[in-house]
Structure 1
Amino acid sequence: MTEPQLLRTPLFSRYARYEGVRCIDFGGWELPVQFSGIQKEHEAVRECAGLFDVSHMGEFYVEGPEAGGFLQQLTTNDVSLLKPGKAQYTFLCYPDGGVVDDLLIYMLEQDRYMLVVNASNIDKDWEWLVEHVPDEGVALRNASADTALLALQGPLAESILTPLCDGTQPASLRPFTFVPDALVDGIPALLSRTGYTGEDGFELYVAAENAPALWDALMQAGEPAGLLPAGLGARDTLRFEAGLPLYGQELSASISPLEAGLVRFIKWNCGDFIGREALIKQREEGIPRSLVGLEMIDRGIPRAHYPVHAAGTEAAIGEVTTGTQSPTLKVNLGLALVNRSYANIDDLVEVEIRGRRLQAKIIPLPFYQRNRAAKQH
């Protein structure tokens, strides 16, 4: 029996240019975990800029006179707040309050939206939308295979991108806004400003066939500033330091947005979205678990699924969802989902690492926050 062929993005041909590139199977995709080293790529994004290939993400179009109402019924945020050129972070939830996926909604124009979903959830999310779409008034289109996505992240992202833009000034984009018809080095692109690294950054959605030329143009423009290609490893350490969730770790069918500390993306009075009643019950009765930040006191690195204990208790009070040595802060940190009774800042807990209980302290999130007043050089 032959192994299934791994999927490749339109930029796969560019990976071989980098001697240190190492690809892995990431949810059925052959993607680079690093190009020159996770630490080096992480530092580039924090200090200058990094370029990510995130073309494995999914893009769905939702169109029609009932499109806005349909999305309002399926997602937790308030779709009615969107205007053309604005984007929104939100959740699809199951009736019990668990998360189908976290996603972005872009309002392209009246009655026309683009959803950006996690690569591992493309099929599941599509089936969820199809299952709930009304008989009339909404048309769905899965454009994932035809769309490439590049993410330019870091404090110098704006200055690298600006000379390539014809007619669009990246500086004019506020966070979570976008231009649907930008020209970047002559290539049509939807240009947005969101980010998943804790730094300033831009996303460029382009036709799949145009992705290699755009990658080349961005890398050439950014070379004098120290731009590096960055892989999945740095993407994970960057989002982790910024306290941003990863589906399957900090969010899942069994972890609600409330438990993940993301209540600000739930709008209780914008309609009866799927999962609302269960989430209201959680809010009123109190969430059973909370996502917390851990800083190791004893020497050891917390990893996903390591049990977390309260001092002197036999049974675990929770488990680590993500953990690593922070490349920026140089300390061992973790995100953990724990019983809410033990989720207080400065509480001491123990992380079980290879059979040994090592002491850690609960600390505030995010671990890292950029200086928003910093000027670009």
Structure 2
Amino acid sequence: MLKRTPLFPIYAEHGARVIDFGGWELPVQFAGIQKEHDAVRQQAGLFDVSHMGEVRVSGEDALDFIQRITTNDAAKLEAGQCQYSLMCYPNGGVVDDLLVYKLTDNDYMLVINASNIDKDVAWMQMNLAGQVELVNVSEDTALLALQGPLAEQILANVTDARIHALKPFRFLNEVDIKGIKALVSRTGYTGEDGFELYIAEKDAVELWKLLLEAGREHGLVPAGLGARDTLRFEARLPLYGQELSQDITPLEAGLSFFVKLDKGEFIGRDVLAGQKANGLPRKLVGIEMLERGIPRPHYPLYAEGKQIGEVTTGTQSPTYKTNVGLALIDSAYSALGTEVNVEIRGVQVKAKVAATPFHKRKP
């Protein structure tokens, strides 16, 4: 039996096509991936991401616990600030990537990937120490993502909160949106400006309708997983299970900025410090096709007659119409402009290592 978010009953009203996504019955598209992708790049899109997991971590040792299980430095967070981070295994591979929200000095919220909720919570429980309380609030929490250059304008139509003053990776708690209480965070997964709104599960349908109505004149559209994937891919934002996994370290994935080796001990630190000191055996790079063909996940890459890696994500860029991908390859072939071959249905097709991200938002 597939799990459903509180918004499932109204998907049909918007013509949603649903798929099985990691055990969840979720919309891959509404009006179409290209249309939804373009709306987020140019106006705004509204995503149901209520399948994501939320875990409250509280108690006087909450910060020490978070510091030990994550790679970023949570000690630098102020109340009302969040950060991107990763949880690693002792071998440096990734348990999950996540957001860490600091609510107060001893109260945090961790936002984790839907398909990893059970695994992540078990990992946290296994590494629990000191006075820390863990509460999985995923089932009680809904999450909507309002993304795109007009997101602020749309949200300002339904709240008097000073959302215009919110900087990226900052949030306001207990924001009143026409009687609905929300944690409003200036974050997202699209490469555009936008907000993520955490609310009680019972308020999800009402807020969805409110936002769509408020954004109607601004071109706001419901958006599904298909556009979410193409948008994050163009912005080179990693997806767990593709650019990150238990076999891929954050450094190999190009996420060294979020690995603070000097903050003190954390799980996986020794292996990551060794990789940094000795050089990375593999690197995540962008590739652009030089001949016809689209690079798809797991297609092998070759150079000098040997396999050097594989594609992690690839498609035709909806924004630029180029056939591009991300690939994890031997570091020796990672220099920009290096020619490689992608094997597509048994035929080796020419490509080159290309600069990423493929899309940067307009200032």
**Which AA in structure 1 matches 2:333?**
Y
Counterpart amino acid of residue 28 in structure 2: V
Q: State percent identity of aligned pairs.
A: 60
List 4+ stretches of structure 1 deviating above 6 A.
none
Q: Encode CA deviations 1:307-340: one digit per residue, 9 max, x unaligned.
A: 0011x41x21000000000000111000000000
Q: Give 1:129-278 correspondences, 5 Å limit.
A: 129-134=124-129, 136-166=130-160, 168-278=161-271
Q: Which residue of 1 aligns with 2:296?
A: 303
**Any idea what the Cα deviations from partners look like across 1:281-319, whole Å, max 9, x if unmatched?**
111111110000011010000000000011x41x21000
Structure 1 residues without counterparts, runs of 5 or longer? 373-377
- The structural deviation recorded for 1:170 is 1.3
- Report what 2:359 is aligned to: 368
User: Which runs of structure 2 are paired with 1:37-48 in the superposition (5 Å)?
Assistant: 37-48=32-43
Q: Distance in 1 between matches of 2:105 and 2:176?
A: 22
Could you list the per-position Cα deviations for residues 63-121 of structure 1 after superposition, in whole angstroms to 9, with x for gaps in the alignment? Answer: 00000011001110001000100001000000010000000000001110000000010
The amino acid that maps onto 2:328 is L
- 1:195 positional shift: 1.1
Residue 185 of structure 1: CA displacement?
2.1
How much does 1:131 deviate?
A: 0.4
Query: What is the TM-score with the length of structure 2 in the denominator?
Result: 0.99
State the alpha-carbon separation in 1 of the partners of residues 357 and 58 from structure 2: 36
| TM-score (norm. length: structure 1) | 0.96
Out of 55, 72, 85, the position equivalent to 2:80 is 85
Distance 2:335 2:175 in 1: 46
How large is the Cα RMSD of the aligned pairs? 0.6
1:14 pairs with 10, 17, 31, which one?
A: 10
1:117 match: 112
Amino acid at match of 1:335: L
Alignment of 1:126 with 2:121, yes or no, is yes
SS in 1 for 2:263: coil
Q: Distance in 2 between matches of 1:22 and 1:40?
A: 14
Equivalent residue, structure 1, for 2:90: 95
- Show the 5 A alignment for 1:21-100: 21-100=16-95
- AA in 2 matched with 1:182: V
1:353 counterpart residue number: 344
- Post-superposition offset of 1:159: 0.2
Cα distance in 1 for partners of 2:137, 2:168 equals 24
Measured in 1, the distance between the counterparts of 2:36 and 2:64 equals 42
**Residue ranges of structure 2 left out of the alignment (5+ in a row):** none
Shift of the alpha carbon at 1:194? 1.0
Once the two structures are superposed, residues 2-58 of structure 1 have per-residue CA deviations (whole angstroms, 9 ceiling, x without a partner) of: xxx100000001101023x21000000000000010000000000000000000000
